Every structure is written in structure tokens, then in C-alpha cells.
Amino acid sequence: MLEIDGLHFLIGQEKILRGISAEFEAGRIHGIIGPNGAGKSTLLKNICRIWEPHRGTVFIDRKDYKSISRKALSTIITLVPQNAAIAFPISVYDVVSMGRHPHLGRFQSLTQRDREIIETALRITDTYDVRDRNINELSGGECQLAVVARALTTQAPAILLDEPTSDLDIKHALTIMELLCDLKAKGKTILVSLHDLNLARRYCDTISIINGGELFFVGAPPEAFLEANMQKVFGVNMREVKDDSTSFLYFYQ
């Protein structure tokens, strides 16, 4: 379990996070939504200590994460960043193998077990066939899947994803969301920020709405996606469109 206790974060004099507290249970997909600039990416970076909160902390199974070394923490929490394009030439295999580095000692090479973990991650994310290609030669969807594979090789119990479906075609977006469902079934704690509200509604077990650096709402999707919430946070109207087998949200001004 991840517990966030009163996180505050500033950039200069601007308050980006304003005392956010929440709990995220294992074995669930926790969606984080909100308008641009609400603080979603900042929250994820604070949770994995890429950025240090100015006040507050995060507890991992009741243990303050500030008491955990950064190397050890990277085996517990891993982040798939937004727009994770890699500009320099490096093979997909080498990118994915970086996820094993926190488990290695200084100057230690990959073991057979490490290579088995890497190969499994490549196969799970359907990137095995492109493992020898330079990652900057791949499509955006393939590149994103390779970065997800890198996160899987850490074998971290908590996986954070910042807009993993942004700029992807629907096939790759659904591939990533279905993969998150498989990871949930294995007991992972998954936090994912999403702009696509219909994907969030379909796949997430809980929804946290961030607005102006504050936690506006946390709960189940049916309560999160009420028209009053959408009007308050996003400034749009909403209508649910149904057919015999499913429904989706239609947003309009």
C-alpha cells in the first residue's frame, strides 16, 4: 500500500501541490485525472522521489520512503514518464535492461536470471521482435511499450505511469491498458494519470481528481464521472451515451 500524507510541492513561489493525502491499495488500478497543469505529473514525481516534497511524505507499507535509499526505492516504485522518447541511438534491449540496474552491484554484469526477466518483459509488451533495433527508430507506440517493459524489469510492486497513452493510436493505447489489467491481477499497485476520461472510466478501479494542486475527489468511477464534477473541474458538459452492450461519455461545451 502507498499512503500519501500532506504532500506540498513548490516551484519557485508557485504552489503546485497543496497538501495532498490519499491511500492506494495493491491489486488495483488507480486513475489520476485533472486538467492540464493540475499537478498530476508533479504528484507522480513526488511519489517516486524524482522530486522531493517540500512538506509531507509517502509511506510504503507504513514505512516512510525517506528512510529508504534511492537505489532500494527504485526496486519498489518505478515510473513510466510522459513522452518517454529517447533521442540517442540505443537498442531496445539495452533500454529495457536498464530496469535491472538497481538490482546489480557496482560493476556487476547481468546474470542469466536478469536476462530471463528482460526477455519476459519484452514478450509481455510485444517488443521482443524489435529488441535489436535502435529505440529512436521505433514508432511512438512501440517506444512507449519498450519504456513500459523497462519498468517491468524492475519487478517493482508499485508502477506509476504518466499519460502512457498520450499520442498513441487506439491499438497501442488499449494494449497498454490491458497490460495494466494483467499487472493488477498479479497484485501490483498501479497509479496512472490519463487524459482520456473514457479509458479512465473503463479500466480504473478508483479515480482521484486533481484540480489546482488539490485532491478534489477520490472514489469509484461512477461517482467520479458525475456531470457536476466534470463541469466543476474541466468546465465542460457531459452526457452518457449507451447502447445494448456498453456506454461512453460524450463531452461538450
Grid cell listed for 23: 491511500
At 82 the pLDDT is: 85
- In degrees, to the nearest 5, what angle opens at C-alpha 193 toward C-alphas 167 and 27? 125
Rounded Cα gap, residues 159 and 77, in angstroms: 6
Q: How far is CA 2 from CA 23, 191, 205, in A?
A: 6, 10, 15
Strand order across the beta sheet in which 2-11 lies? 14-24, 2-11, 55-60, 63-64
Q: How far is CA 208 from CA 33, 109, 165, 240, in A?
A: 6, 41, 18, 20
Residue 107: CB partners within 8 Å, gap ≥ 6?
none
Query: Per-domain residue ranges for the chain?
Result: 2-226
CATH class of domain segment(s) 2-226 = alpha beta
Q: How far is CA 19 from CA 4, 197, 214, in A?
A: 9, 25, 7
| Residue 140 scores a pLDDT above 90 | no
At 111 the pLDDT is: 95
| Mean pLDDT score of the chain | 94
* Mean pLDDT value across residues 24-34: 97
**Residue of 157, 155, 168 lying closest to 85 (CA atoms):** 168
What does pTM read for this prediction? 0.93
Task: Give the rounded percent of residues in the chain with a pLDDT score beyond 90.
Answer: 83
What confidence tens digit (pLDDT) does each residue in 172-199 have? 899 999 999 999 999 999 999 999 999 9
List b or e across 51-79, with b for residues whose CB sees 16 or more CB atoms inside 10 angstroms: bebeebbbebeeeebeebeeeebbbbbbb
- From the centroid of its chain, how far is CA 29? 9
| Residue 244 scores a pLDDT above 80 | no
